[in-house]
Structure 1
Amino acid sequence: MEELRNIENYEQFKQALDTELANQAAGFVRTGYLLKKARDTDILASSGYSTVAEFAKAEYGLSKDIVSRYIAINDRYSEGGYSDRLQDKYEGYGVAKLQDMLTLPIEVVDLISPEMTRKEIAEVKAEVKAEEAISPIEVALEGTDVQQADMELCQKAIYKYAKDNPEKFKALVKWTKDGDSEELESILAPSGIAVLASRPQGIGKVFTSFKGEGQPVDILAVKNNEKHTLSMDDYAAKVREVFAQIADMPDAYEKTEVAPVQPENVIKKSESVIKKPEIESETPKSEPKESENVEKTECEVLSGEVVDNEPEEKQEEKATEEAPVAAGLDKNVLRGYAAAVSSSIKKLDRLWENRELEKCLEELTSIRWRIEQIQKNGGNAE
């Protein structure tokens, strides 16, 4: 208490507040654990309450949704998914950020650093949601970029990112001549913390995550969860391979032809802009409004106003799946439907975990439609 009274400047204030809010995350995990115990045992038998939701509402004014959120936080972030202890790797995020990440696939959560802001996390979520709107069939129909045929995943990701960001492209070509891994990191992640989003042809969204100076680099393909982790030196070597031939050309970094200037699709501290997905339907879509939870403070969360992570928007049907089945579908299309069913089942599990019932029904409708198409074509999607 005395330490808080002695705060005299912004740095001391910010550090103290970060510490207090981070400590609250452990409290949320413990609360979720207690509510789960009440749900799963006969602890409430003598209380007169029939369910934990009824108990929490009557005794603490907590809605059913808030109780579910406490439990979901414990499911995802506690040790073993059912304990009163926060996993070490989630210390420092704070309650609000942990809640914001609840609807993200755990593979994507692992790319996010505690230093990232809630706005930056919301931008990662927007990237993931944009990719989820593109079916596996659409991705398969993109084919393969012949220029990237022999590249590894990390190389395809950085090459596409650089092509979409001409200034970065030129900087990387120039760096290839005599730069080291530290200089590469300063080009791609000036603050040390960044999540680069790119979309190589035929692969879908790929994230490249930098978590601090000298830390390993994580590369994740969102569609199939293919993930690679490289040391910064190894990553630099892979990047050098991509741009080495270009760098050998006279005045390469000045004459290299790259894509027209577009907003930089990198998510990092104080410099975050989301690039639209490259595949769009013929009908223009309005840009999604920034989720209101970005503006809420962690204090609002701690006072009981649990953030709603997803906007109340109806999922759009995939354009490529609206055509009726005619004289039989190609086997590749059927395989795409089967892959989409598997993907939807995984997504449904996350939606059910967070009790997003309307979205569960929408996803079930989508699953049923795909399965019916497979049945109409002989039931063979192998």
Structure 2
Amino acid sequence: MSALVWRRVCRGFVLCCFAALLQLGAPATGPAAAFETSAPTAILVDHGTGRVLYEKSADEEIAPASLAKLMTIIVLFEDLKQGRVQRDDRFTVSEYAWRTGGASSGGSTMFLPLNSDVSVDDLIRGIIVQSGNDATIVVAEGLSGSVEAFAKRMNEEAETIGLTHSHFTNPHGLPDPEQHVSVRDLARLAAHLIREFPEDYPIFAEESFAYNGINQRNRNPLLALGADGLKTGHTSDAGYGLVASAQRDGRRIVLAMSGMDSAAERASEARRLMNFGLQDFEEVVLVTAGETLGTAAVRGGVVDRVDMAAAEDLRMLVPRGSLSDVEREVVENGPFVAPVSEGQRLGWVRFARGDETLRQVPLLSETAVEEAGLFQRIAETLARNLGWGGAQTP
């Protein structure tokens, strides 16, 4: 090909990916379509890309049980971030908190003594590690004056985060016919906690917490298997549920499931879903920002070609070991007339399967090309018109 061709095409390599998965929102195929769980409702999300790797009845409205405490913690963390409360502030354990969520209630409890004062820092661990219902009520009353007022704040925060199938009426998740969530919303809550409160998120991985002389272990069964949070839940109407997150090789996944019949089934199915997300998918780098992918023709410049570089990264999550005939095509949109500025768009890199364009990234000039002097431009014009030094431009 001549240095002055209108279009320069370089057909590249075969990538290890499914073309269908190169499109955001593409339906599950391959491993994702083959995976199944006994959980009535479940979702698995790649945290980095936000891609749903698996879902089953993910928008069905369900009772949250203790998973509602994730929203309670978000409201508390937000108040800490905004300086409305401090970690060493102390809240008093009311009779309502003691009776509704204390030792005599029969539910998860922090075993807070009646009328005692407890620090916000201890309450955080009492909610996250011990899943104390009494701790959530103490927080609700301490921050908002009442459970009802706090529930209003929970719903306001839910709207801000973008939950679409959730409504909260209490901070602990005890049964209420008006209270519901979806596993998609629970996964969004988890992602919000991980993203917005990175300094506090490690608390979810703490294996135990002792208060009032009573040591309780974290109920998350996946902590021993590589997960680093978040929470379990159980009531008779909700069944056994879990929200968890884990990372491996720089990738993080978030999963949520609910409605299982036993703690053993919850642990088993959550482990299967976690391993599926971490083992069966991999991130493939198709192109990196600044990577040189070709050159573009320039007329009337001090040089006749300029390097083109990718404008941005293009990374895709694909099933591990999957193969598909996806081709990379580098397209030059020239020739260009000097001057050419640095960063000027000169073409694009296209990823395609057959005639179908899947994704493309702009290509930019790596350097500026100044206009040539008069005599150089005359010589170039003569060479082009008389065919000196190469084929004529088509």
Q: TM-score band (shorter)? A: under 0.3
Bigger proportion of residues as strand? 2
Q: Which structure has the greater CA radius of gyration?
A: 2
TM-score scaled by length of structure 2: 0.22
The structure whose RCO (Cα within 8 Å, separation 6+) is larger is 2
Bigger proportion of residues as helix? 1
